[in-house]
Structure 1
Amino acid sequence: MLSVHTSPLHQPGTGDAGGMNVYIVELARRLAAIDIEVEIFTRATTGALPPTVELAPGVLVRHVDAGPYEGLAKEDLPAQLCAFTHGVMQVWAGHRPGHYDLVHSHYWLSGHVGWLAAQRWGTPLVHAMHTMAKVKNAALAAGDTPEPAARVIGETQIVRAADRLIANTAEEAGELVRHYESEPHKVAVVHPGVNLDRFRPAPPHQHLAATALDVYRETSPETSPEAVAASRAAARERLGLPQHALVPLFAGRIQPLKAPDVVLRAVAHLLTEHPSLRDRVVLPVVGGPSGSGLAKPEGLQKLAARLGIADLVQFRPPVGQERLADWYRAASVLVMPSYSESFGLVAAEAQACGTPVIAAAVGGLPVAVRDGVSGFLVDGHDPADYARMLHRFVTAPDLAARMGASAARHAQSFGWDAAAAATADVYGAALHERRGRLRSTHG
């Protein structure tokens, strides 16, 4: 596997680390569990880590020196692809011939390294876009920076070169065919997964109050509204959040693409329409600035002050996955008004924890969120529309628990084991096709 611009060892929610990091780590672990050994090549961003790190049995992370460890923006990385490729080739030269059976590249920067490596080694290239420049540029947030033409050209080349392309959803598969003229037979749809052991309505070994524990034990499965409500109460106690507050949560990288400003404006609109709710709303924002958001890292705090809701917003830095799961559990609802999402892992994780989602009806979110069952989909990014959805959770106090129970059940279909098995099938098809071509060539 190739992941040039972000390491699977990085904390999601910081810098360029996000859903793709989680995707690569979880997929690699599950592939190793079904006897597919994985080596992940990524760019070294600190001298503190050794050249190789065992992430899990059968999963090795290799750090490649390519450019300075720190201070290199994602936009500057194309100039380091030659150095990165050289590092990959050096490792390969130390192995016996045929050591690598297949190359799986993630994101367009990795795709260019994968293109060369796969040709040099005589292996298939499987590529996952994760996001696409043409799709992002068609749905830019106000003030966001368009993706450069060089990326569009690069993605087009990779689509042509790859033996197989993995898309998160049928819509993304259609976009690959429509925008990049991919051959339809080369595109396979594999939904990303969720770590259902970590993201669940109640964490393992959770210590609930006696009454809540009785409810939890008596309900089967744990995805009943009563169990979800009990888990939410316990999570709020752990995080110091008021029990009866409306807690809309934003979790993710703080950048225009993810539209955290829409969440703040929606809460401000809700309070303008219903001033009596002011003492009953807490808005946690869990994540760090990223991408074009790095230019104005304090922008969201200043917006909260201008909207008059600074006292209601809790800005929290990115947290580990165990802690993030607790933030999901504690929330009344996750709000995800992104302008573009290839899938929306955050939405799937929150639902797995028993929390409904209000999301923009873009990209893969209509697959991740079942409208009216596990959450609500909103057309567009008008804060008033999101405020109206938030108000539904005020007028129906049991809605968060009822919809959260449905969300937890819905998320059960997004397990990583299924994603790994489907990915292994894609690998098998690519290898079979490659061997068939070799036989016909030499026949």
Structure 2
Amino acid sequence: MRIGLVSPYSWSFQGGVNRHVEALAEEFLRRGHDVRVLAPVDPPGRVSRALHRASAERRELPDYLMPLGRTMGFGANGSVSNLAPFPAGGVVAPRRLVRSGEFDVIHVHEPLVPLVGWNATLGARDPVVGTFHAYSTKGLPNHIANGLGARRVFNRLSARIAVSEAAAWTGRRWYGGEYTIIPNGVDTEAAPSGPKPVGDDLRILFVGRPEERKGLPILLTAFNALVEHVPCRLTVIGSEEEDVLRYVADPDLMRSIDVRGRVSREDLWKELHDADLLCAPSLSGESFGMVLTEAFAAGTPVIASAIAGYSDVVSDGVDGLLVPPGDPQRLAEELQRAHFEPERLQEMGEAARRSAQRYAWPRVADQVAGVYERAIEAPKPVTAAERMAHWTGLRPADGGPKRPAERLPSLDPPPAQAGKRGRAVARRLGLAVAGIMGVGLTLLAAQKIGVDNVVESIVRSNLTWVLIACALMASSLFFRAASWYWIARAALPNRPIRRRDVTSATMIGVLMSATLPARLGEPARALTLARRSGRVRETFPVLLGTLVSQTLLNLVALVLLGVIIVSTTPLFHSGTKQIFAFSLVPLIVLLVLLVAPLLMRRNGNGRLARLGGMVHRALVQVRAGLAVFRDPRRGSAASAAQLGAWAIQLAACWALLYALGLDGKAGIGAAAAVLFAVNVTAVVPATPSNIGVFQLAVISVLHSGFGVSTADALAYGVILQAVEIATAVALGLPALVREGLTWSDLRVQALSTAPVRLDSKPRARASQP
């Protein structure tokens, strides 16, 4: 039989589909069939690096490969797909080769993928078999594909294969048709068969690209808790060290991690055999998981997420374990149990080797060959009407009845924490609404006052005084960093606290506070400094406590501002009492943090008792951040620097009054009142930089207390906020560059500080139903 295998993915960047195609081709060649593989190829060099942002793998091309042209890397489904977007390789070459190849059957893998899959299917005159590898639940891309004619294209297929129930679900849900489920195969003969090496450490293996969808951040979070109680090592294959570091909040964790990057097939087999277990914590989007069956063939059990594609492969409790996706706590608990249950681990390894026989390539190839024969025997169109219906895709080429797409229940399990996704959506929606309301309040105020008047006031401002205010605002941030340095030194006397690290963390925190709501800059700066100050799990709570110390000093500064306001202005009247009363909120929070550890229970064995103990320990660590007030020298330095920062900010607010020519109506008391108001109303800002509320607070103070026109007051609020944001960006971005961080890095590293806690011994396993 002359077989043409078509892959839309670059042969130079090997993935699961290409490994499947290569193994299937070699199995059929061993059986004496004439096989050709049609796939794009990217020769190593500068062009490939530019098109893919990665170097193409140097590998010898097999004789049966017929290159189609170059590809380009595209982000899709949480990963990078290397597809042929160019007409020569994506349209012309596949159509020409399938027509000139004189094949008995053409086997197109991923016929949905443009452009190669579609054109190989449409250009063929011989029977075409399509294999569907992907699992997709998103409606938009599939509706777009159907709008472009995908269902009619797939009606040109004489037979359809799906590698799993998840892939078949995708086909039935969006495109209709009948699917034969034939799994990906595994080379059981190439797998090592000897005894596993003996060691005290629990050897965990992760194989996958550095994508969040693959669950590497979840595994690292669980592993961070595991190393506290279990001797263990984690080997990461398929990712580089800088990719792993991006998800690691505590650099010390790298001492227990071996990062191998890309490895040869022989080295991969060795690592699979040497590992005690393979961990596959993917979050979604997996239709099968070839690495699971490869681990089975090597006699290695698997701990995998209970997602659609993996649940087809792993028999929970037999050849592996299934855990809820995105649940680092449960993953850490199962890894800990694996260390304390070596006999059970060995039994699952033996069962895994037996399970691998279901996926042996000879068995898989037999099933595929059966589909080929069925496709060849499918009735051919005879009349002109039948040929037209076949060519237009109105008539299924397999000769069977039409099977339209149908709505099917999802195969995905519910989230690890019910309602978590809903809360996240509600939170994003709330933030969006709050942001729109903030901007709307500012625009409404400008409209009421008169946009022309506000713009005129802004244009009339003195640029020199505005620049002076910017310089003063920037200087105040360095004073705040100096204060935090002394506070952190007192709280962590045995840790390597450096001034430049504290300064960078301060600037990053200010940048995030200026561009994100809810004071997210505070934990961000604590996390940034914790990465430079030893073990993050130990230093991060203490550094959060140092922020409480700064809050206490800020309360002192607010009191001093209140003294200035009361002694110089008659501002404290019914219109602004609420702002002054709101200043008590930080004081109340501070008192709760101080008193709560004394009131909480620390004994008991129940779940609530363990949670209470965990919270108590965290609060005690947070309270350790107040140690600066027991050190006269450092306490004095921290207080002087923090209060000095407030004094400089007060000068900046005063300078802006001069910039707008308001110094005749409002003096130092007005500047103090503005600084007081904008800080009190920003205790828990609902919008980035508290936009909207910020301007209204300024108008309330200047117009009500000092008789400044509403237009000038709004202009002052706009310029003051612009000065703060410009200063934050100018100082924060270089700090991000220095730390080698991005917004995404800070977000995923914050996940690593989530409270995953393990007991010294694993708790009893819940009874199985």
TM-score exceeds 0.5: yes
Q: Which residue of 2 aligns with 1:188?
A: 180
Output the CA distance in 2 between the equivalents of 1:92 and 1:408: 39
Does residue 322 (structure 1) correspond to residue 316 (structure 2)? The answer is: no
Does residue 198 (structure 1) correspond to residue 195 (structure 2)? The answer is: no
Does residue 424 (structure 1) correspond to residue 369 (structure 2)? The answer is: yes
Partner deviation per Cα, 1:123-159 (whole Å, 9 max, x = no partner): 2221222114x33x48xxxxxxx96975675655543
Q: Which residue of 1 aligns with 2:196?
A: 231
Output the CA distance in 1 between the equivalents of 2:253 and 2:365: 43
Q: Which residue of 1 aligns with 2:7?
A: 3
Q: Return closer, same or farther for 1:192/1:76 CA change in 2, 3 Å cut-off.
A: closer
Alignment of 1:51-90 (within 5 A): 55=62, 60-66=64-70, 77=83, 79-81=85-87, 83-90=89-96
Aligned partners of 1:285 and 1:314 also within 8 Å: yes
1:197 partner SS: coil
1:247 partner SS: strand
Does residue 396 (structure 1) correspond to residue 341 (structure 2)? The answer is: yes
Does residue 300 (structure 1) correspond to residue 244 (structure 2)? The answer is: yes
Q: Which residue of 2 aligns with 1:282?
A: 233
Does residue 39 (structure 1) correspond to residue 36 (structure 2)? The answer is: yes
Instruction: Give the structure, 1 or 2, with the largest relative contact order (CA under 8 Å, sep 6 or more).
Output: 1
Aligned partners of 2:28 and 2:365 also within 8 Å: yes
What is the one-letter code of the residue matched to 1:86?
A: V
Q: Return closer, same or farther for 1:24/1:149 CA change in 2, 3 Å cut-off.
A: same
2:312 partner SS: helix
Aligned partners of 1:2 and 1:110 also within 8 Å: no
Does residue 362 (structure 1) correspond to residue 313 (structure 2)? The answer is: no
Of structures 1 and 2, the larger Rg is shown by: 2
Shift of 1:346: 0.3
Output the CA distance in 2 between the equivalents of 1:411 and 1:6: 28
Output the CA distance in 2 between the equivalents of 1:112 and 1:101: 23
Q: Return closer, same or farther for 1:157/1:2 CA change in 2, 3 Å cut-off.
A: same
What is the one-letter code of the residue matched to 2:91?
A: T
Partner deviation per Cα, 1:301-339 (whole Å, 9 max, x = no partner): 132243751211111111111110111111111000112
Output the CA distance in 1 between the equivalents of 2:158 and 2:220: 44
Partner deviation per Cα, 1:174-195 (whole Å, 9 max, x = no partner): 3311x213123xx111111110
Aligned partners of 2:69 and 2:89 also within 8 Å: yes
Output the CA distance in 2 between the equivalents of 1:314 and 1:116: 43
Output the CA distance in 2 between the equivalents of 1:54 and 1:342: 28
2:363 partner SS: helix
What is the one-letter code of the residue matched to 1:283?
A: L
Output the CA distance in 1 between the equivalents of 2:352 and 2:369: 28
Q: Return closer, same or farther for 1:288/1:268 CA change in 2, 3 Å cut-off.
A: closer
Aligned partners of 1:102 and 1:118 also within 8 Å: no
Q: Which residue of 2 aligns with 1:170?
A: 165
Output the CA distance in 2 between the equivalents of 1:387 and 1:158: 46
Shift of 1:103: 1.9
Aligned partners of 1:160 and 1:182 also within 8 Å: no
Alignment of 1:323-362 (within 5 A): 323-338=267-282, 339-362=284-307
Q: Return closer, same or farther for 1:81/1:351 CA change in 2, 3 Å cut-off.
A: farther
Q: Which residue of 2 aligns with 1:373?
A: 318
Q: Return closer, same or farther for 1:33/1:299 CA change in 2, 3 Å cut-off.
A: closer
Output the CA distance in 2 between the equivalents of 1:165 and 1:197: 28
Does residue 125 (structure 1) correspond to residue 144 (structure 2)? The answer is: no
Q: Which residue of 1 aligns with 2:328?
A: 383
Does residue 405 (structure 1) correspond to residue 350 (structure 2)? The answer is: yes
Output the CA distance in 2 between the equivalents of 1:30 and 1:18: 18
Aligned partners of 2:28 and 2:35 also within 8 Å: yes
Q: Return closer, same or farther for 1:263/1:151 CA change in 2, 3 Å cut-off.
A: farther
Aligned partners of 1:39 and 1:61 also within 8 Å: yes
Q: Which residue of 1 aligns with 2:23?
A: 26
- From 170, 192, 214, give the equivalent of 1:258: 214
Q: Which residue of 2 aligns with 1:240?
A: none
2:254 partner SS: coil
What are structure 1's unaligned runs of at least 5 residues?
11-15, 139-145, 203-229, 234-242, 290-296
* Structure 1 residue ranges (4+ consecutive) displaced by more than 6 angstroms after TM superposition: 70-73, 146-149
Q: Return closer, same or farther for 1:92/1:149 CA change in 2, 3 Å cut-off.
A: closer
Aligned partners of 2:8 and 2:84 also within 8 Å: no
Q: Return closer, same or farther for 1:92/1:430 CA change in 2, 3 Å cut-off.
A: closer
Output the CA distance in 2 between the equivalents of 1:131 and 1:17: 16
Larger helix percent: 2
What are structure 2's unaligned runs of at least 5 residues?
46-55, 388-769
2:367 partner SS: helix
Q: Return closer, same or farther for 1:347/1:393 CA change in 2, 3 Å cut-off.
A: same
Aligned partners of 1:3 and 1:107 also within 8 Å: yes
Q: Return closer, same or farther for 1:75/1:156 CA change in 2, 3 Å cut-off.
A: farther
Shift of 1:249: 0.8
Aligned partners of 1:200 and 1:353 also within 8 Å: yes
Output the CA distance in 1 between the equivalents of 2:262 and 2:297: 19
- Report the TM-score when normalising by structure 1: 0.73
Aligned partners of 2:121 and 2:156 also within 8 Å: no
Output the CA distance in 1 between the equivalents of 2:379 and 2:321: 44
Shift of 1:170: 3.0
Q: Which residue of 2 aligns with 1:208?
A: none
Q: Which residue of 2 aligns with 1:219?
A: none
Aligned partners of 1:108 and 1:151 also within 8 Å: no
Aligned partners of 2:165 and 2:181 also within 8 Å: yes
Cα RMSD for the two superposed structures: 3.2
Q: Return closer, same or farther for 1:72/1:304 CA change in 2, 3 Å cut-off.
A: closer
1:44 partner SS: coil
Larger strand percent: 1
Output the CA distance in 1 between the equivalents of 2:311 and 2:229: 33
What is the one-letter code of the residue matched to 1:248?
A: I
Aligned partners of 1:111 and 1:127 also within 8 Å: no
Q: Return closer, same or farther for 1:35/1:182 CA change in 2, 3 Å cut-off.
A: farther
Q: Return closer, same or farther for 1:397/1:91 CA change in 2, 3 Å cut-off.
A: closer
Partner deviation per Cα, 1:54-81 (whole Å, 9 max, x = no partner): 73xxx710112346xx778767846325
Identity of aligned residues (%): 25
Output the CA distance in 1 between the equivalents of 2:108 and 2:297: 28
Shift of 1:168: 1.2
1:79 partner SS: coil
1:282 partner SS: strand
What is the one-letter code of the residue matched to 1:340?
A: G
Aligned partners of 1:4 and 1:43 also within 8 Å: yes
Partner deviation per Cα, 1:385-441 (whole Å, 9 max, x = no partner): 111110111211333222111111111111011111111111111111143x34895
Q: Return closer, same or farther for 1:147/1:315 CA change in 2, 3 Å cut-off.
A: farther
1:254 partner SS: coil
Q: Return closer, same or farther for 1:191/1:81 CA change in 2, 3 Å cut-off.
A: farther
- Report the TM-score when normalising by structure 2: 0.44
